[in-house]
Amino acid sequence: MKRLNTPQQQAVNHTEGALLLLAGAGSGKTQVITTRIVHLLKDKRISADNILAVTFTNKAAREMKERVGTMAGRMADGIIISTFHSLGVRILRRDIRALGFKPNFSIYSSSDQAGVLRQAMRERDIDPKQCDPDLMLWKISGLKNRLISPAEFKPAHDDKLELATAAVYPRYQELLKGFNAIDFDDIIMLSVRLLQSNTAILGHWQERFRYIMVDEYQDTNASQYLLISLLAQKHGNICVVGDDDQSIYGWRGAEVQNILNFGDDYPGCRVIKLEQNYRSTSSILDAANSVIRNNPIRTDKALWTAGGQGRGIDLIVAADEEEEAARVADSMMLEQFRGKLPWSDFAVLYRSNAQSRAFEEKLRLERIPYIVVGGQQFYERKEVKDAVAYLRVIDNPGDEASLLRIINFPRRGIGDNTLLHLNQWSLAHNVPLFEALGRVAEIADISESSKKAVGAFHRMMTEVIAGFGRTDLGAQVNALFNRLRIEDELYRTLNDASQARKRIENIEQVVNSLAIFEAQTPRATLSAFLERISLMDEEKSEDDKEHGHNAVTLMSLHSSKGLEFNHVYLVGLEEELLPHKRSIEEDPSCAEERRLCYVGITRARQHLTISRCRTRRKYGTIEERKPSRFLAEIPEHLLIDASTNGEAKDGETVDMAAAFFAQMLGE
């Protein structure tokens, strides 16, 4: 408490009733949330079972839980600090029977969803060539996030996608339920439906969670908002933490009005603003404040720091994107040489991922190490998904998407026609697909060789499922993969031995991950491990610094939220890029794009460089570019034209770069 400033202390001490904590960028909100939780536990003597803290990423939840555990010790045992989706799964595992599901339901990944959707489209005679399945899944996801059920969806009569979705959505949900499965968006939607439809279940969870805290409240969508509202309805002890100026995820359903209207939802709520910034210099904060105050609908606040004015903001005006990348790289080399800095101090932030090309090429040319945030997740790699699918079927034989994934991996001579006949027979006789495999001898249209292969697979999986124990999970799975001879399959099917080895190492990591999970988790189960995989956020390989990598980070502005770097290069500040052309068309005020620019500026700790181009290439044609309106909103006295120092600065850059390479060669 002694380390907190006055508004932070006020936020910690306000525990009864509603509290809106408006926490600006870099204002120490995580410390406030965790200290507030410990205050409830140690000073107010509130049971850990009665406290709920919700955030958006597993990483943030894990960090909060670790901090609370360090400060509160055993008093924190049993506290729920989780993501929205982990909370939803917790509710559904206990009470989903009331909705007609079994508690061991599977949570389908995006590829599993796609398989179910395509089956629903086939049954409704919707041609995927005429109606993109990915667009339909996106549409269904949006409906679920707005809590619109198949029966409630009213399509526009002149919209082909909506009309097709209206035909497929009900069947898609029926198929999921038949497989005893839900998709990611169902987690919150079904949790809300459960609480709305059953007063006893609602009462249980309201009594359980008497004190509720929600981090990043500006990012909540309609379903998340309603879930929290239902839980807080009885006791009203709800603290939401967020910053409407950092609401940048409207494109995926986040509704900034949730935080702007909090006072209307909870009349008499206390509002506390955290405006002291502990991250950036005054120059950076003055620029950020000057940009964001141009948004007409926002809560009034302004970041400030006691840390000093700092350097001005460098402005690079380049002829084109190649020169922009070259000058950014030159600037980095100069800064790195001057300060003997690690490359991980530097980040390049852009509006569109396509902008990374020029920077990647230039950094590679200059032999500057870099990482591009946005690579494929471990659990999204094909061989990993194949391995995990075996675990899903062991845990839930009714998971037909996973069953279809593994039935011919490794290859067993079970072709598409055999699968089609198995599916048709399963539907016609109203039996689960796994049971149909065991009755393959009854299916006339399948060849004897295929029947033999299907029967052998069914017997093997039945034996594995029946014999799967509750301990030594990693060892059991490793024995299964050895039995399947997956390594031989990968070497046989991949012409490149090095690629086969990489994929084998990935499968090995599945086993390692399960073994580590079992060692670190009391009463670990296969279900809990699979649940953890399903709930993993789409957090890319963002924190290479955590793994000891010394590299420049290239990332989109959307991916940068929550991160900070000593030196930030905010590139491409041009009209139709930042703000983006599509966003200008959708909202001429560019409110969310301005917030995105604000987020980018406030990622910088010590120094910010902004760049723009006079021209860019589009389909090979050179186009003139206009400076971003956001650039005009930054006071001129804060900007230093990186070209006005003339030949001296350019010469210094060249000399320093030469010295840098001389140093490298010497080493």
**Full strand arrangement of the beta sheet holding 19-23:** 80-83, 51-55, 211-214, 238-242, 19-23, 270-274
Label residue 98 exposed, middle or buried (CB < 10 Å: 0-12, 13-18, 19+). middle
- 554 forms bridges with which residues in the sheet? 348, 372
Residue 27 is labelled as binding a ligand: yes
Q: Is 373 helix (H, G, I), strand (E, B) or coil?
A: coil
Q: Is 79 helix (H, G, I), strand (E, B) or coil?
A: coil
First to last CA, the chain: 48
Residue 389 is labelled as binding a ligand: no
Per annotation, catalytic residue among 113, 224, 246, 281: 246
The C-alpha atoms of residue 37 and residue 63 are separated, in whole angstroms, by: 13
Return the biggest CA–CA distance within the chain: 86
The residue among 376, 352, 391 whose CA lies nearest residue 579 is 352
Cβ within 8 Å of residue 508, ≥6 positions away: none
Q: Which two tokens stand for residue 116?
A: 């179910």
Q: How far is CA 373 from CA 347, 361, 457, 535, 610, in A?
A: 11, 16, 40, 20, 20
63, 81 contact by CB (below 8 A): no
Per annotation, catalytic residue among 112, 185, 215, 489: 215
Per annotation, catalytic residue among 139, 362, 405, 603: 603
Per annotation, catalytic residue among 8, 29, 162, 553: 29
Per annotation, catalytic residue among 15, 30, 31, 196: 30
Residue 29 is labelled as binding a ligand: yes
Does residue 663 carry a catalytic annotation?
Answer: no
The label of the residue with tokens 């949900």 reads 173
Residue 30 is labelled as binding a ligand: yes
- Report angle CA 184, 78, 195 to the nearest 5 degrees: 45
At how many degrees (to 10) do helices 222-232 and 133-145 cross? 30
Does residue 216 carry a catalytic annotation?
Answer: yes
Cβ within 8 Å of residue 246, ≥6 positions away: 25, 218, 561, 595, 598, 599
Residue 25 is labelled as binding a ligand: yes
The label of the residue with tokens 């609908």 reads 297
Does residue 246 carry a catalytic annotation?
Answer: yes
Per annotation, catalytic residue among 216, 531, 575, 593: 216
The residue among 221, 263, 206, 222 whose CA lies nearest residue 240 is 263
The label of the residue with tokens 């956020």 reads 537
299, 260 contact by CB (below 8 A): yes
DSSP 97: G
Does residue 215 carry a catalytic annotation?
Answer: yes
The C-alpha atoms of residue 461 and residue 11 are separated, in whole angstroms, by: 55
26, 303 contact by CB (below 8 A): yes
Binding residues: 23-30
Q: What residues form the annotated binding site for ATP?
A: 23-30
Which residues belong to the active site?
29-30, 215-216, 246, 603
